[in-house]
């Protein structure tokens, strides 16, 4: 059975934000505005996306 994947795009900069938000973006594999990453749809990944929801958008589910 294929794993469900999410495509996440960074739309905001972490400059001036809490350092933990920058670390969360790095944990998601994002570090520059406009970059996209395909991630496995798991509870920890969903939590990380929720933490930086103002800086990222989920493109595909």
pLDDT digits (tens, 9 = 90+) for 22-61: 999 999 999 999 999 999 999 999 999 999 999 999 987 6
Only one residue has tokens 């920058």, namely 22
**Domain boundaries, position 36:** 5-60
pLDDT score of 39: 95
Asked whether 24 and 49 are in contact (CB, 8 A), the reply is no
**Mean pLDDT across the chain:** 94
Asked whether 33 and 12 are in contact (CB, 8 A), the reply is yes
Instruction: Report the CATH number at residue 31.
Output: 3.30.1390.20
Q: Total structural domains in the chain?
A: 1
3-state percent breakdown (helix, strand, coil) of the chain, nearest 5:
30, 25, 45
Closest CA to 28 of 60, 57, 61: 57
């Amino acid at each position: 059975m294929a794993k469900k994947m999410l495509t996440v795009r960074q739309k905001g900069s972490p400059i001036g934000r809490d350092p933990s938000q920058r670390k969360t973006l790095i944990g998601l594999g994002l570090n520059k505005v406009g970059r996209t990453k395909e991630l496995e749809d798991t509870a920890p990944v969903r939590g990380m996306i929720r933490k930086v929801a103002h800086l990222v958008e989920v493109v595909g589910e």
